[in-house]
Structure 1
Amino acid sequence: MPNRPATWRLIACLALLVLLAGCAGRDIPDRSPAPEAGLSIERALALSTAKRALGTPYRFGGNTPEGLDCSGLVEMAYRSAGIQVPRTADEQYRRLPAVAQPQPGDLLFFGDRRKASHVGIYRGNGQMIHAPGRGREVVSVPLDVAYWQQRFLGAARPTP
């Protein structure tokens, strides 16, 4: 006569294995946000911070979620990724490594040929996130507008 407790233990172990095998075969949906394809983690973080800043009021000299100017938006976004950038648009333009073809997260500079007076963060798909000026909020705008094209100075990449 077989040992009943041992048989029940064996049956319980087999049932548990079948149950676990069934669970292991399921696809668990990934609910975490997918990073932008091909971006370094630093650029993805900076771009994510800039997107969250949409709607933040303009404040001259501001570099916090309570209020931002254009270079303050850049400073805050890159600070969230652990990267320090110069404070003004012109310093950023002169000191950061230039790139010929901007990618999402890169900086876009505007002004006259002597000085960069404005900076935005390239969002991709021909869009830029920027803090436009007094009485306005951080917005995303298309770059195919003549105003931006006439004033474009260049692009820079503060991150890998």
Structure 2
Amino acid sequence: MQLDAVDRKILAALQRDASVSVGELGERVGLSQSQCWRRVERLQRAGIIVRRVAQLDRKKLGLNMQLFAQIRLSRQASDAARAFRAAVDTFPEVIELHSVLGNIDFLLKIVTTDLEAYERFLSDRLSSLPMVQEVHTIISLSEHKGGGELPVALAP
């Protein structure tokens, strides 16, 4: 699907504030409400707009630790990778999962309440997966640019 300047304005505005009404969005991008609604619908049908979510402040939810875990599997078979992804999908602490090239197989972005919670997660769940050979953890000291859906259920 080809995007024009108006489509790009719509997408930029929705990324800044997805709660804006279609009428106000139309005003911001120079379209009538109905024209804007048709464009947004087209962008959704094309899969460009996947969903609209609220971006939350993880620290205000008590999710004070943000970490990255580099994972090396014990074997490279696709069944091990598939099983690992399926297991990680059940861990609400993992907010991003990336298959990567290089010395590791996966990179996980993880949020927890504190270091002790991460230690429990690491020892009880992540490291106990049979296909995991190595886990290297990187603790994020500060975040300068980021976002994403947070596991609200983990907030104390």
Q: TM-score, normalised by structure 2?
A: 0.22
Q: TM-score, normalised by structure 1?
A: 0.22
Largest Rg, 1 or 2: 1
Where relative contact order (Cα < 8 A, 6+ residues apart) is larger, the structure is: 2
